[in-house]
Chains A and B, each alone.
Chain A
């Protein structure tokens, strides 16, 4: 088994257009959630979200590219560029043949579906752009990354709703650890902040109209976000040999399925995934100092997640820190685990634990140290990142300071 290093990270989301901006915003406890702006937003009940602002696609991509790149692919390519540049790796020859890209997304090109349904149904058009299918397909982003960087190894997209990117990163980790690949590009992205994307979520009646306040007794639901985060996972020894900066080491993961309900989370399923990650990473529970929570801000998730953490960690649950950065960037659905891994990297690398902002009122059912409202300086050696998806599919990753 090989050790696995993270040697590159990139992101664009409502907190910033790069990892640096994102982490600065997280450390400052800034909120990226605000009023949504897109066509027909006035017909929505839910009018807030963590939207990427000040982003003008035409300044980054040319006309031909934009005819093929849905917003979700645009985010992915921007994040991939930053991550791969940081790693300093150029893919050619044998390295190229064995390196691939595994990404997570729940919805793929949602805006492309939305725009084109609108064209044929609402506007009565009988013709759509020839590239609708290659633009909306869930694997489009992964394929464009592979084409852009000459990645010819195992490449695919994982779709497990809100756990998509954690499942994707777990797959990529496993490939490097097992020696199947020396380098894998991984992470996830989502862009469903359009009329249809938000309207569908409204239907579930779990969305907040004002703010995402995970673990706070007065929380009233989740808030959607959008964006991408991409990482370069690399054989640790190779990374060290070539003198690359190692941001953190990925040390383990676990996946589990609740096998019980299509939307309600299960304490047992969540606990099995957390416990499984500790076992896979050969960790004693006392070694974990920080958990980036799934922390959606819904009643169902937050209570269940806190109970699962209390079950797995016992007394140590009161000593560790657990925060939900969704309070700042919103729930980025299939890309959320990737963006949240950035908070874990900041904790183990920079010793700054991102806060749960919007916290107003203690909830006895969520009585853990949720790092309320302000980030905290702390020495963190090991961090976990939780993701518990609709459909009961869970994936937890463990990282360690390098």
Chain B
């Protein structure tokens, strides 16, 4: 499974949706994921890929990791996975 599909699975599970309902353009807000859901998603993604995501819940928009859409999250994770290997 590629990174994008796996991330979408994780986000869909958090949003209690089918993966098909999560598009690359979706924002977490539009999927109904609140600040706690976001922290849980970040944790699940870190566990799945064994990576560390730079994320501070005090200011989610701050820092290098862009969470503005599903696409931006996937590209951020692809970068972190590439850096790891």
Which B residues are in CB contact (< 8 Å) with A325? none
> B82: CB under 8 A from chain A?
no
Inter-chain contact B58/A219, CB cutoff 8 Å: yes
Contacts A263-B36, A264-B35 given; indicate if A203 touches B43 (C-beta within 8 A): yes
> A205: CB under 8 A from chain B?
yes
- Output the nearest chain A residue to B52 by Cβ-Cβ distance: A45
A223 to chain B, nearest CB (A): 12
A196 to chain B, nearest CB (A): 17
Residue among B35, B58, B59 with the highest chain A CB neighbour number at 10 A: B58
> A221: CB under 8 A from chain B?
yes
Quick one: CB contact mask for A193-220 with B, threshold 8 Å, 1 for yes?
A: 0000000000111101000000000011
Inter-chain contact B58/A204, CB cutoff 8 Å: no
Inter-chain contact A204/B56, CB cutoff 8 Å: no
Chain A: residues with Cβ within 8 Å of the partner, total of 15
Interface residues of B in 4-45 (CB under 8 A from A): 35-36, 39, 42-43
> B1: CB under 8 A from chain A?
no
Q: Which positions in A face B, CB cutoff 8 Å?
A: 45, 203-206, 208, 219-221, 262-264, 298-300
The 7 closest A-B pairs by CB, nearest first: A205-B57, A299-B58, A221-B58, A206-B57, A205-B39, A298-B58, A220-B58
User: Could you name 27 residue pairs across A and B whose Cβ atoms are closer than 8 Å?
Assistant: A45-B52, A203-B43, A204-B39, A204-B57, A205-B42, A205-B55, A205-B56, A205-B57, A206-B56, A206-B57, A206-B58, A208-B58, A219-B58, A220-B56, A220-B58, A220-B62, A221-B56, A221-B57, A221-B58, A262-B36, A263-B36, A264-B35, A264-B36, A298-B58, A299-B58, A299-B59, A300-B58
